[in-house]
Amino acid sequence: EVVLEAVRQNGVALRFADEALRADRKIVLAAVRQSGRALEYAHPALRADLEVVLEAVRQNGVALRFADEALRADRKIVLAAVRQSGRALEYAHPALRADLEVVLEAV
């Protein structure tokens, strides 16, 4: 509960959590809702979790850079990321960087 409250206040505090807690979906969701950048410190399995990554990129589009490769190719995720920050386009799969709708959302 202490870690959960800490990441609700500062999502990036996830980096100081024990590895087991960085694999806890509830804790990671709370962290990325506060700071999308917290995705960097999440367990790799959660960086491949659609809901976790979507929450992260909605808060900070550039968090796309920490998402699993498969999700960087997911149109829904990439659109959410570039709507939040056009800079996220840099981390999208090459096929989506060539997608007109995605590019237009990024500018």
pLDDT tens profile 13-62: 999 999 999 999 999 999 999 999 999 999 999 999 999 999 999 999 99
| Whole-model pTM over 0.75 | yes
Question: Could you tell me the sign of the dihedral formed by the alpha carbons of 82, 102, 53, 29, in that order?
Answer: positive
Residue-level pLDDT at 97: 96
Q: Which residue is associated with the tokens 């939040």?
A: 84
| Furthest-apart CA atoms within the chain: distance in Å | 45
pLDDT band at 95 (very low <50, low <70, confident <90, very high): very high
pLDDT band at 1 (very low <50, low <70, confident <90, very high): confident
